[in-house]
Chains A and B, each alone.
Chain A
């Protein structure tokens, strides 16, 4: 094994530095700071109060005082669905968490948005290492090795489907490679995304399987087997009056939101070819 290249060594203890910087950033705004879907407000006692941004001023919130409770808060949506991606815009409401000091604040933030504080800090300092898609794909192995063959257009569509603010509040900083920037709307949130995450890699694998299928298996009107599977599932579900979506990272199932977002980009143009302007 060789040591992986370490590009950044200028900040000796980023964890400690980021804790102090984040607390100072919050302290500078007595009215509170928004971070992801969370509102963080410095308390006169020296601690911090966190709640869902939409619960600002709400009463009857369930109060937590252990910063590690944040992980439990972030685990399930309001509907009880598991949240595999903590930066998805589906943080549940109805809670408030009191953090005694900067250490507890960062522990709580790492429960709500794991590693977001340190990435926020490194990004502000201009020291955040960015890993582009091709670089990330190159080190994948096993069942994920095939993501290396995803086309540039496939990466573009997968990022639009998987990473825009409608499904992930991180600000996407990586590109396809050094030459080809992402075309997606990268988002304006506070949490930087320096590298394709495991949910994205898993989605990219699914999109690569769609791509492979496109080459060989199109029918007379140009639809692939999986496109027809998705259309059938949609018709059947809608006919019952209720479309029950697949789980957030269940990309093998037709009615997955990100999968449908990908279809909107790639299938809709096939079904509704753009009308040429006269």
Chain B
């Protein structure tokens, strides 16, 4: 039997934080690709500490529902799940640990799908810039690296006149980017895993956004939903696990 374990951050305060993980798990469950699809969290139950005892399958694929490689994916998740590396044997179980979602090649496509959802039926004239919004932190350069990396991938496709990045907690600061980017249309997509305090409150407030579309004197700002809850992320999670399977199961033959 084969199981997929999706690891989310979860929250003690925000009931919506874990919702994308549950929704993606249900989508993957419906595909029948796995005998079991189980969710676990850092801040919610079931915890990472106990989830493996709840899995009946011997082949276990663990995919972190996190955007970037960093503190959680490299330190907290392996520690709490008791993982020794990409492959861990525990009793009869073989646990394969995949990388985060933001660094996966399909991520750029999900961002563009999110952008298409936002811009469907909206008319624009003049130059259009896509701005990817990341949390960022001065403590870990991988946090911003994944945003730059995806911006680069999208830039190569030439769909938008400009593709820029902006952050909440590091330079370049998002407010500055949105104001100064040389375009009449600014599409702002938060590269976040879930809706929450930042996407609903701090970002609209700090940028003076009035909803999905905000008219300023010299530009129109289109504010999209975060990438994480997009239904296509479920396929990305599956693909991440499948990649591990191809690399370590079939590749090993």
Contact = CB atoms under 8 A, between A and B. Distances in A.
B13 A250 contact: yes
B54 A13 contact: no
B56 A199 contact: no
B159 to A, nearest CB: 38
B47 A82 contact: no
Contacts of B51: 115
B71 A15 contact: no
Nearest to A85: B45
B75 to A, nearest CB: 6
A115 B50 contact: yes
A78 to B, nearest CB: 15
B50 A12 contact: no
Interface string A59-89: 0000000001001000110000010111000
A119 B53 CA distance: 9
Interface stretch (B79-87, B177-185, B216-224): B79-87
A241 interface: no
Contact of B47 (A1, A13, A84, A198): A198
A166 to B, nearest CB: 19
A37 to B, nearest CB: 15
A269 interface: no
Nearest to B82: A4
A275 interface: no
Interface residues of B, number: 33
A239 B22 CA distance: 43
B46 A195 contact: no
Interface in B188-214: none
A202 to B, nearest CB: 6
A195 B84 CA distance: 21
Contacts, number: 81
Given A139-B79, A199-B12, A118 B50 contact: yes
Residue of B51, B54, B84 ringed by the most chain A CB atoms within 10 A? B54
A6 interface: yes
Contacts of A13: 56, 92
B82 A3 contact: yes
B90 A76 contact: no
A115 B92 CA distance: 20
Residue of A4, A71, A86, A110 ringed by the most chain B CB atoms within 10 A? A4
Interface string B212-244: 000000000000000000000000000000000
Contacts of B91: 6, 9, 12
Chain B binding surface, main DSSP class? loop
Interface in B11-28: 11-15, 22, 26
Nearest to A72: B22
B61 to A, nearest CB: 16
Given A2-B84, A115-B47, A82 B15 contact: yes
A15 B79 contact: no
B243 to A, nearest CB: 21
B43 interface: yes
Interface in A117-165: 118-119, 122, 131, 139, 141-142
A16 interface: yes
A193 B12 CA distance: 18
B249 interface: no
B84 A197 contact: no
Interface in A1-58: 1-4, 6, 9, 12-16, 19
B46 A115 contact: yes
B170 interface: no
A131 B47 CA distance: 14
Contacts of A114: 45-46, 50
A3 B88 contact: yes
B92 A12 contact: yes
Nearest to B50: A115
B46 A16 contact: no
B135 interface: no
Interface string B63-98: 000000001000110110011110010111000000
A271 to B, nearest CB: 29
A6 B90 contact: yes
Nearest to A121: B53
Given A1-B84, A15-B54, A19-B56, 6 more contacts: A1-B78, A15-B55, A15-B56, A115-B51, A139-B79, A198-B12
28 contacts: A1-B85, A2-B84, A3-B84, A3-B88, A6-B90, A12-B91, A15-B54, A82-B13, A84-B11, A84-B13, A84-B43, A86-B45, A110-B46, A110-B54, A114-B50, A115-B46, A115-B50, A115-B51, A118-B53, A119-B53, A131-B49, A139-B79, A197-B47, A198-B44, A198-B47, A199-B12, A248-B12, A250-B13
Interface of B: 11-15, 22, 26, 42-47, 49-51, 53-56, 71, 75-76, 78-79, 82-85, 88, 90-92
